[in-house]
Every structure is written in structure tokens, then in C-alpha cells.
Amino acid sequence: MGRLSSIFSLRHLLVLSLAANASLILRVVYESDKSSLNPVNQRSDALMAGDDATQKTHFSAPSPPPSVAGAAEDRVINLDHGDPTMYETFWQKMGDKSTIVIPGWQSMSYFSDVGNLCWFLEPEFGKEIVRLHKIVGNAVTEDRYIVVGTGSTQLFQAVLYAVSPHDAAEPMSVVSAAPYYSSYPAITDCLKSGLYTWAGDAREFNKDGPFIELVTSPNNPDGHTRDSVVNRTGGILVHDLAYYWPQYTAISAPADHGIMLFTVSKSTGHAGMRIGWALVKDREVAKKMVKYIELSSIGVSKDSQLRAARVLKVLSDSCESPSNETQPFFNSVYHIMAERWRLLREAVKHSGLFSLPEFSPAYCRFLNQSFENQPAFAWLKCEEPIEDCEEFLRSKKILTRSGRQFGVGPQYVRISLLDRDENFSLFVKRLSNIHL
């Protein structure tokens, strides 16, 4: 009897343990399924995998494209955001050249360069900014203050803070010619500031008094090269030159404006690094911008600046001394953009339902050739009888941003052309075959 009961309890234990193991296995499978669908989980998995601080971190396996899901024909293609994942291929080819290792004890102080007006600018990054502009010839850096920001988004806010009078009776008007970058109105008004307020399309602006005009050239969303449009004095011009690089437009001369904004997001493709820089002529404006960044984030990530310095260095080296393994960055991405625009125009022609902006060729002093703008976005117009282009393309599972968000009508949409190859190819194929 004693033996029987011990066998019985052993069997019981065996069954229990099998059941427990099975449920554990099921749980692991279920959890890993969940995380593979979620790019956020994938990213934290990658970070966990690289938790040895001395190891060169290879997070190179890119997370799955958030813009692609499901079988090719049924996939939703999300081209709403200008996420520059197209650039991954170039940087993967660069391998360890653009890898940096930051020991745990480094970058601990708030301060980078106490003698500099922009005390949180890493000197190495400042040096590489000047070097790159000299090589490309797209901006004057002499007699300019460099202010680094958490993306050019923070610098834009710093500029608004710096140039608006703090004792004025009413907020300063901020304008930009439509179609304008859709984030300008939202960022300007997000805090309902007493210093500045969004005043819409610069072409319609007729209010007396001081104003800030944002000049984006080449422009987001339509890709045209631009000058200021408000034709009177009393305005402060802010030149957003995020796309003034040879893969998008001919570099005809070094830009020489009072306030110029640049970002790695659209030049090197490192949007996730969140680094931008401003070249500012006026010392007082630069000082106030630094003050704003001090107030909003006590400086800018040193780790990101060090990484940005390395990326710019590799890029400049690739232009100055190309080799078999290191092809010149701008030539390489120029060709990708040229091919994407060729395929896009072909698809638009084949479909017959859309139109795209036309550009005149200009001579590029960097690439030594003439070419037409090949913007980061397609500013697509749906022809009649389609009234709402965004809605129409959504019904074909292509997600875009409506013209309404850029201050114009719903017959236009903005489409990112900086997505990964696979997604871009799927997009042009689908666009080409759309018929009413």
C-alpha cells in the first residue's frame, strides 16, 4: 500500500511537471511572437543583447520595417513619415568605420567646452561640421556660431525663443509659404507661447509689425528651391536647410544667411541620433538659443554628438579619399535618389491618375554636373475626379500625409521617398497599377 501510494504520487509529479513545462514553452512562444510583432520590443531585445559595455555594439540587424506588414499585395505601405531608413544600406557597408565605443566613465559631465559660447557643443563635432560644409560647399561657416540641438526641431524652437522680443505687446507672427513643413504650425503653437504665434501662409501675410519667416530650401513637402516671399522689412528670416545636400539638389553656392538650420536626419540619415546644428551670424541670437537649450534640456546628449562626429568624419573621409570599400557618400546616395525619381515618374506616367512637380536643372559645384531636384518627398497631386488624394491612396493601402496639413488642399499628398528599398519598390509597383 505504501509502495502503491509512492508510485501514484511519482506519476502525479511527472504529469504535473510535464504540464508545467508545456505551459512554460507555450508562454515563451507566445511572448516571443508578441515581441516580434512589436518593433519597440525588438529594439529593447537588441539593446539587451549588447549589454557588454566593452563589446563593440552591433545593433546592425535593423528592426523590421514598421512601414511594411503582411504579404506583399496586401501590405499597408506607410509613407507618411520621412523616416530615412533608406540610408541604412550605406552605413551597413561602412561596417566598423562608423562604430564608436564609449566607456562607462566617459561623457559624464554636463559640460563639453566651457570656453565656447555653446558650452555643450562637443569640440570634435563642431570641427566635423565645419569640415563637412567646406567639403560640400553648401554653407558659409566663417564668422558663425555653431549651436547644437536635439534635432533641428529643438533648434527651431530655440530660434523662435531667441528672436522674439520678450517685452512686446503681442506675440510675434511666424509664417512660411504654403505648402510648408507640416510641423511648423504645430511646434510653434504647442505651448501657446506669449512670445510668438503661427500666422500661416507667408504669401497671404499682410499684418504690420515684426515677423519671422521660415524659408525651407529645398522645400518640404514640394522639393522646390526657395527664397523668402514676404517682401518687406521687419522680418527675421530663418533658413531651414535640412535638404540642402547634393543627394537632393544641386549645390550652386554656399548658403550665406543669418540663421541656418541643418540636421543629420536628412543629410546622413541618422534621424534617431536626434542631432542638428545651427549656423548663426549674430552673437546675441546664438546666446539666446543656447539659453533656450539650457532651459529646456541643459544641453544636448554628448553620446549622440560623439557618434555624430564619427558619422560626419566617415562621410567626409569618403568624399576626400574614396576607396574600394568606402564609396563617396553623396555620389552613392545621389544615384539612389535619381533612380527612385526615375521609377516614380515612370509609375505616375503609367497610372495616368497623378502628377508630380517639375524641376529645372541646375549646376552642382560639388558633383560637377547639372541635375534637377530629386527631393526626399514626392508631392503628388491626384487628378480629377479624385478629390481627396490621401483617402484615395489609403483605400489602396498606401498611407501618405494630406496636403491639408501643409496649408493646401486635399488633392495633394506628401509621400516619403526615403524608406527601405523593399518598401519603395512595392510602392511604385502599386502606384503604377492603380486605375479608376
Ligand X SMILES: Cc1ncc(COP(=O)(O)O)c(C=O)c1O
Nearest distance in Å: CB 225, ligand X: 13
Instruction: Kindly give the residue spans of alpha helices, DSSP state H, lying in 50-108.
Output: 88-94
Nearest distance in Å: CB 70, ligand X: 27
Nearest distance in Å: CB 276, ligand X: 4
Binding site for ligand X (CB under 6 A): 82, 151-153, 181, 216, 220, 240, 242, 263, 265, 271, 276
Burial of 377 (0-12, 13-18, 19+ CB in 10 A): buried
- Pick 326 or 405: Cβ nearer ligand X: 405
Do the Cβ atoms of 378 and 344 come closer than 8 Å?
yes
- Pick 128 or 240: Cβ nearer ligand X: 240
- Pick 276 or 407: Cβ nearer ligand X: 276
Nearest distance in Å: CB 185, ligand X: 13
SS3 222: coil
Nearest distance in Å: CB 263, ligand X: 3
- Pick 179 or 276: Cβ nearer ligand X: 276
- Pick 146 or 242: Cβ nearer ligand X: 242
Distance CA 430, CA 436 (A): 13
Q: Which residue is nearest to ligand X (CB)?
A: 151
Using alpha carbons, list the distances in angstroms from residue 405 to 153, 225, 402.
17, 20, 6
- Pick 196 or 248: Cβ nearer ligand X: 248
Nearest distance in Å: CB 30, ligand X: 36
Distance CA 309, CA 303 (A): 10
Distance CA 111, CA 118 (A): 10
DSSP state of 134: H
The β-bridge relationship of strands 377-382 and 354-355 is: antiparallel
What is the DSSP annotation of 190-244? TTT-SSEEEEEEGGG---SS-EEEEEESS-TTT---------SSSEEEEEE-TT-
Nearest distance in Å: CB 72, ligand X: 27
Name residue, grid cell 557618400. Answer: 329
- Pick 126 or 149: Cβ nearer ligand X: 149
Cell numbers found for residue 189: 503653437
The answer, yes or no, to whether the previous bond of 218 is cis (omega within 30 of 0) is yes
